Structure 1
Amino acid sequence: MAHSIPMIPGPQVVPSAVCFQCQVCCRFLEQDSFLRPFFTEEEIQQAVAHGIPSSSFPDHRGSQIKVVRHPTGEGFLCPAFDPTTQHCRIYEVRPLDCQLYPFALMWNAQHDGVVLGWDTLCPFLLEQANSDRPLTVGAPTSSTLTLPTAFMEQAQRVATYLESDNVLKTLALHPRLVTPFQPEVVVLQPLDRLTTILRSSTKDDTR
């Protein structure tokens, strides 16, 4: 059964004008990249209603989207991405997995805890980073990368959202929304409630 969840609260971290010029998001080097966005059942229904072919989703109960070959470049693209305009065709109903970026929801290196972090592959965030406060890159390596207060406040809003009851139910149904460990992601905080729920789940969490 489709399970509705609200959009992530708060402002978009990266300005739209910057996103439209970036060459990172929505592009993949491999056809089977584990970073392909995962869509829940309801998100698949919304994407199809907005013009994405139903064949883009191997399992309509919830799955990662099938990417397509870049028409003029190397690698692969999300079929919802328009390389001419640099816009997402389903932006208003984009899945939680895409809403999160440049935050990352992932398992830690030991795969015994879920954490929230930010992706250093995002050029805008990397430019904003400074050395005011040490954070952890992956774990347990130390780093001096940190971000402006407004970004950190939004990160806290996202963490609170992810551990709200309604969203936890969705994540429990779709544990593949949590990615494997990514060493280039700076860990911001552990998500203990989500960890407890997923560690007790028997559902496959492998991307």
Structure 2
Amino acid sequence: MEKRWVATIHLDTLEVEHDLSFKFKCVESCGKCCYELEIPVRDEDIARIEDLGYNAWEFVDYEKMFYRGDKFLSYALKKRPFDGGCVFLDPETMRCRIYGKRPLACRLYPFVFVKQGRVMEVYVKMDSFCPGLDHPEGEPITREFILREYGDVVEEYRRKVVKSQE
């Protein structure tokens, strides 16, 4: 996986340095990531989706597992057998049926957040299938972009930094 640095967030001040040359725009109704990616579903994701009335057996692929080293992290989101798309992707509209409650991995894609002490680096996965990377109508990965789209993720990391300083 090729990844590219696009921003650094200073967790104590929320100052952001970013790559002025990179822009991103999620292309509505594209759905390519829903076909191309294997998505990990955390316990929190499963509980949130079950709250919508789904049973975990309908959307969790218990045969696909994610590990970091030898530590089990999660199972994967199921794919439809007839076309390989995510079970929540509407094949006619190419829109997610659970968009507001989708797994964190779906929400973050194509970005990867890496905490290093008091800063969090933001990288973008340079997947060739994603038409939103360096999109001419895209938005730079500024402080405003990050806080609007991922403010809760940044805040969670900030709390961990504060706790480690106590």
For this structure pair, what is the TM-score category when the shorter chain's length is used for normalisation? 0.5 to 0.7
- TM-score between both structures, scaled by the size of structure 1: 0.44
1:99 partnered with 2:107: yes
Aligned partner of 1:65 in structure 2 is 77
Identity %: 24
* Equivalent in the alignment of 1:43: 45
- Tell me which residue corresponds to 2:15: none
Question: Deviations along 1:39-96, whole A, 9 cap, x unmatched?
Answer: 222320221232544113239x953222222x3x4xx111111111111111111121
Richer in strand (by share): 2
Over the aligned positions, Cα root-mean-square deviation in angstroms equals 3.6
Instruction: Spell out structure 1 runs of 4+ moving beyond 4 A.
Output: 158-161, 166-169
Contact 1:120 1:126 in 2 (8 A): no
- CA distance change for structure 1 residues 155 and 116 in 2, over 3 Å: closer, same or farther? farther
Q: Quick one: higher RCO (CA 8 Å, sep 6+), 1 or 2?
A: 2
TM-score of the superposed pair, with normalisation by structure 2: 0.53
Contiguous gaps of at least 5 residues in structure 1: 1-12, 29-34, 108-113, 130-146, 170-192, 198-207
Give the match for residue 123 of structure 2: 117
Tell me, in whole angstroms, the C-alpha distance in 2 between the residues paired with 1:63 and 1:168: 27
Aligned to 2:89: 81
How far apart, CA to CA, are the structure 2 residues paired with 1:167 and 1:52?
32
